[in-house]
């Protein structure tokens, strides 16, 4: 099915969060129009995440205290940027990626809770060693990309880091990951780990291929 283009409504703002309204409405229409052959599951995953996220940030917003609505403002800004791309593919990719990250965080937290409930003697020593090595490698990789050492990655650092590692990503992909991972404009080390974990699920993603290549071969040069 051909990608539908987002369009701006003429005649000015409907209200303060008109971009967010429009993206949510048009995403729902787009998902509904997909046939079973178009694999609509990913689209509905994106729509469901957007609904949940909007409900959460709206619930935390006190209209009498505008500063409490910062997250809602940022979500609307993201919607505005996605409208500017003119592509529903970007909308679906952005929010479905965020949904995968949310799922990975929940799974990770559940696993940690389960591990804490078990005796350390019941743990598998080799698995703990592997997990430690993986965490150390991810930390080392993050530090290599974080050139100014401030503990977070700007999009410039992210792009330069990928180029330094020998796998420069498509500019649209880098921008999409940046939007998806942090609407504040940077990626923290934990968010970087979440990206890696989430994208390992998506075997066709560029980030997954990058991770597999450097996780296997990168250790040779350390």
Q: Per residue of the chain (222 residues), what is the pLDDT tens digit?
A: 444 444 443 333 335 788 899 999 999 999 999 999 988 999 999 999 999 999 998 898 888 888 888 888 888 888 888 888 888 888 898 888 888 888 877 887 787 777 776 655 555 554 554 456 667 777 887 788 888 888 887 767 776 776 665 554 445 445 555 555 555 567 778 877 766 665 554 444 444 455 445 444 444 334
pLDDT of residue 178: 59
Domains in the chain: ranges and CATH: 18-94 (no CATH), 124-221 (1.10.238.10)
- Residue that is written with structure tokens 């409208």 in the block: 83
pLDDT of residue 220: 38
pLDDT of residue 207: 47
Contact by Cβ (8 Å): 101, 195: yes
């Amino acid at each position: 099915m051909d990608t539908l283009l987002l369009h701006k409504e003429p005649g000015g703002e409907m209200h303060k969060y008109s971009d967010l309204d429009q993206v949510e409405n048009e995403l729902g229409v787009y998902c509904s129009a997909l046939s079973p052959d178009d694999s609509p599951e990913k689209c509905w995953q994106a729509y469901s995440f957007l609904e949940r996220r909007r409900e959460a940030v709206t619930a935390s917003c006190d209209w009498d205290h505008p500063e409490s609505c910062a997250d809602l403002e940022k979500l609307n800004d993201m919607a505005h940027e996605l409208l500017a791309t003119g592509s529903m593919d970007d909308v679906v990719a952005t929010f479905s990626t965020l949904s995968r990250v949310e799922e990975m965080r929940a799974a990770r937290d559940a696993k940690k809770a389960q591990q804490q409930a078990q005796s350390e003697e019941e743990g598998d020593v080799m698995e703990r060693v592997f997990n430690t090595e993986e965490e150390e490698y991810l930390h080392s990789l993050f530090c290599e990309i974080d050139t100014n050492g401030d503990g977070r990655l700007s999009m410039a650092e992210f792009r330069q880091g990928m180029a330094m590692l020998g796998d420069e990503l498509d500019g649209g992909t880098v921008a999409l990951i940046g939007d998806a991972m942090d609407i504040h404009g940077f990626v923290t080390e934990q968010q970087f780990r979440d990206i890696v974990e989430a994208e390992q699920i998506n075997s066709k993603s560029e980030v997954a291929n990058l991770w597999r290549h450097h996780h296997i071969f990168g250790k040779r040069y350390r």
